[in-house]
Structure formats: structure tokens, C-alpha cells
Chains A and B, each alone.
Chain A
Amino acid sequence: MSDAPVVERPAAHEGSALLSLDDVSIRFGGLLALDGVSFDVRQGEIFSLIGPNGAGKTTCFNVMTGVYQPTSGLIRFDGEPLGDRKRFAITRLGIARTFQNIRLFGNMTALENVLVGADAHHRTGVVDALFRTPRHRREEREGEETARDVMRFLGLERRANELARNLSYGEQRRLEIARAMATRPRLLCLDEPAAGFNPAEKAQLMDLIRRIRDRGLTVLLIEHDMSLVMGVSDRVTVLEFGRKIAEGTPTEVRNDPAVIAAYLGTETAEEGES
């Protein structure tokens, strides 16, 4: 198995902050969607972001991946402020994500979807493509290797030549993860990857998330499903109305009075949904 997309985890960085949000706020008109949120995602951990609907979880993802600029506050990736980097530049830096509602390139094959991800670090332009320069050939070969490897990892190798839209729902979810992993991220952000999954599929997903972490990636997870979050996370941050109300290990968070109030007090049906 090629280990191309695996990022080596240097021992010195173990446990240090890979991504840190420092007092990040974002305002949409009158709505303060994120209100002074700070947290650190440490190298090599599985970190979850939970909270009731509308708590600002996806907004958090969008700020981290450059979709929105924070109104105030600072986001650092590996110590470096993201600044006003473009979205594709942030991906190249090493943050990749999946989407809450699947957003694959439906009319491209599964393999091509993953190749687009692998292309994130490629430089081939028109001239390279037209004249089939060594760069084009090298990058095509590398991209294909990366893509095949990631697809094998996610059990999609047999579906490589299917159109993305022809895949089953579960396969599409995994293909999104494959595409994101092909960009060789250090931080993989999964936005509700278990949405629409049955318990058996959720168990598989939990296993998958751990295996992703074991490949050297840091995982940031947004999820509604409490059993999944509690089962897989190293640490959890809870958001409510754009504010951080708790942070800690799953056990700590589960017993936190503020969290219980937020969940049980307002939305008891939360767990079973979506």
C-alpha cells in the first residue's frame, strides 16, 4: 500500500495545536453567528464540535476553510494565521473538508472526483497538458496513485469508474471523504458524516474515523449523533448560540450542567434525528 497521502506525524508536534481559533466572531447583519469562540485542535486527535441546530458549527467550518472571513479574531493553522487566504490556498495548506449535504461532482466518475482532490497540489497547466511534459506525466501518475490508494482505504476501488451520482448514499459519503483525503490534508474536517446512516453504518464510520486518525491525520468532526461523538472523540467542544459553553473529554462534557441544559432543556429529540 502506498503511503503517499500519509502525513508523517513528527513526535515533537504530538499534542501541540494544529488549528487554533482565538476569540473568533462572525456577524451576519444582526446575527452574531459566532461569538468569541476559541479552541485548539491538537495534532493527531479526534476533536468534535457539537451543539444544537444553529449553534454555529457549520459556520465554524466555513470560517476555517475560508468560505467566510471572521469579523474579528484569529485562526491559526500550524501556528500560521490564515489571513485572507483564498479557499483553494487553505486547502493546499492542509485543511480539507466534506459537506453536510453531499456535494460531489456528480457527472464525473468516482476516480475523477478523487483526482480533483489530488490535483490540489499539482501545477500542470495548458502547456504541460498539450505537450504532455514530464511534469504532466509525473503529476498524473502521482495523482492516480494517491487516488487509488485513498479509494482502496475507503473501500471504493471497485467503484472507481462509476459516475459519482450513481453511487449509493453511503458510497457517496465515503467518496466525499476520499476526495478530501486526496488533497493530502493534515486536518480533515467532517461535517455530519453520519447523517442518514443506520447504526451498523455508524459503527463502521466510527471505525473509519479512527483509522483515518491512525494514518496520521487530525480529525475535526461535526456530528449530531451523540453515541458516535462520545464513542470516537478525544475531546469535544460544545457550541450554543454561537458561543462555546463547554469543552473537555466526552465524559466531562456529558456531565456538564450547561450541556445538559442546552440539550435536554431545549431539544430532547436531537439525538435520534438526521
Chain B
Amino acid sequence: MKRLEALYERLIDGALTTAEADELSELLADVDVRRAWAALIAIDGALLETYLGDSSKAVPVLASTGTGVHPRAPRKRSARQPGHRRQPAPRRRAIHPAVIGLLLVATLGLIGGLVAMQSRDQTRPVLVDPTPSTARLLATLLEGAPDAVVRPGSDLDAGAWVHGPARIALRDGSLIQLQAGCRWQLQADNRQWVALGSMAIVAQPQRPELPMTIATPHAEMRVVGTRFRVTVEAAASSLAVDEGQVAWQLPGGAVDLVQAGGERRSDAMPSGQSALGAPEPGSVEAIEVLWSADQAVLSGVTEIGLDAPWFGRAVADGLRPAINTETDVGQPYHEIRVRYDRQGVVIPLNQIRSLEIDLSAKRACDIALVLVVVNSLGEWVTNLEAVAPVPEALRSHLEIPMSAFVDSRGGRDPLATVQIWHLGVGPAELDAITVHGLRINGVKAANLP
């Protein structure tokens, strides 16, 4: 069986030669070998399941001697007391740290590629209106990821998010290349916002009164006709100027004119300091682009006000359905039922880190978030519930970690899945809440409908 495992390792490394494939095929003619093979796949699948999608299972940093820190133990769910409430995370204006961790990319070689790209690009879009602040369509997406929401050839309006890799032509002829993972937003007044990742720019000469401005969470750069690169990491942004000059400014700091060959890097912002020009949460579609790395984004939300007759103990706050199947006393409960715009997305419970919601509230109130959990047979198992205060606001962004959800019946099946999400509200608040978007963090969303 030693040879079998050696061939197995070669296969999963994508290194199996034709001769080795033939050898493996011959080995698998034996039923005992096939059994061992299936067992290999089973243990590997279990190990993959243990490690995939859980960044908490840190891999030890290895010293050259091979000794290192032990990996963290696989995360265990802590027991939660019924009725325990936790406050949702404070409103966030930029991007989820978990996404940030995924998206740092290198920029080397971009400039050369851009120059070549510019010289061979025969289909540069016609520049109809050179006034960025008044033009509706400010840029054209030349190339983008095949599964991106914004399609190549699309004109981009202010507020449009593009998720790299992508190539964009601005109306003034400037070219932008976003590296894979770069989160970029086109804003009005010749501004661009880079939430994360790397981009390279070949900029046309800019009008002094309204130069192209690149804002990041940590710094702001104004262009004076140049070639330069911007990289945004979790804690800092950096600039490298290849030609021309760029005005570099940290929040509250003086303008620093960076010449060709110069580089700048911001330090981490002090806690609580706001990012420069960070965009407010946009449309569901825009958020979908931004968040598509490892979140399920629910769009096309349907809201239905229901007076559902829950069965259980008395519900004191009018928000949450109490679960006690030992009684059959119906209780009034008002819910906003949220559905996926396509049917049937089922998310393994053990893959969820947190849930987020964008909503408007005409009045400050509490909402209950109720996750419906089903077992592998599609049968209802339990509800997970959390309560969050919602401020009166045109737009609020709440993030509720899974640890805030209380299991109404106790115990969790790691194979259970979440199918439906309800919001429970008091009877007077049913018309006060408007849901704009929901995200379930911690699952891959690229292939969700």
C-alpha cells in the first residue's frame, strides 16, 4: 500500500505521469487496493473539511529546523445560554477583515503590461464628455473576470464597483489595471476608491482643477499625469511612482509630492480614525461585487409581513418566537421573511462566521434575527436567534457574529444547514423596517445564484 499512497500524493499534486497513471490503474484492479484507495479519499476529504474555509485553524509558522508553533486546535462551538444577547458589531464602512486577508496581491510587472496594453489597444472608447463630475458614464470596462457582475464592454457610472482582475478605460484615456482581488470603485469628480488590492494606472495629463484622485482607507493620491501603482493592504496603503508625480496625503496630513522613482507607505491608521472618502454601503449589486469573495449575498429581498402563530411559551418582547413544543399555545409573532431571489441555496451551518444586514428603519427598534436550521433530510431542526438594536437611520449596516445566535433548543448538528432567514419585529415596527441586503459570511459565494 505504500506505493499506492505515493501515487495518491502524486495524483493530488497534479504530478502523476502517464506511466504512473497506468501503474495506479493496475493497482486498483485489486479489490483490497480499491478499498484502501477509498479510505484514502475519505480521510483526505475529512481533513479538507476540517481545514477548508476556517481561517482560525492557523498553520504553524515553521522555523528552518522544522519546529514550530502548534496549530490551533480546531474551533469548538461554545455553549450559549438561552436568552443571552450580544451586541452586534459596530457599523463598518470599509471591507471585512476576513476579505482583506485574502486579497493582498503583488503588483510587479503591471506597468509593463499596461504600456503594452495601451499600445495595442485599438478599441479605446470614444470620449464624449470630458467633464467627469457631470458625465453619467465615466469609464468603460474593457476586460473583466468572466463571472463578474459588470460585463466587459459595460460603461461604468459613478458608484460602480469592479472586482479585479479587470482593465478599465477612463473617459480621459487613462488606463487602469486591477490585479486579481482588487476592489475598486469609480466615484464622481474624477475620484476612485480602492478598498483593497493592487492596481496600476497609466494616467493622462490631468486638469489641475480636478485631478484624478485615488483614495484608499489610509491615504489619498492626486495625479498629475503619470504612471504609478497603488497597493492597499489591511493596515496600510503604498504608492510607487514610475513616471511623473503624485500628490500623497495622509488623513489630516500635509500634501507630499512624490516624484518618479519615489515610494510612500502609510502606517496603520490610529484606532477610530475614519478612512478617506470611504463609500457608504451602496446598492445590493454593488455590495455583491465587493463582497463576493467569500460571502453569500442575498439580493432581491422579498419582505412579507406575517402574523405567524408560533407555538411555545409566552413571548415577552414580541420579537422572538419561543420554542417549546411541549405546549400548543399559539403566540403572535410578526416577521419579515427574507428569501433568496433564487430558490434553494442551502448553507452548511458550520461554514458561517457571521451574518450581516443592510436596512433602513423609520424608528429605532429591536429586531430579532431567526435562522431556520434543517437537517440533512431537509427537516426542521431548530432556530438560531439573535436580537439586535436598530437605530433610526436611512441606512444601517449590522454584523452579527454567529456566536451571538442562541440555539432555541440546544445543541448543533455540524451538518445542519441554514435555509431561510426571518426577521422578527414588534407589531408596530412591521412597516418601519426595509431590508436592502443580507450577507452570510464564511461561505464561498462565487457560484451561488
Bound pair (A, B): no
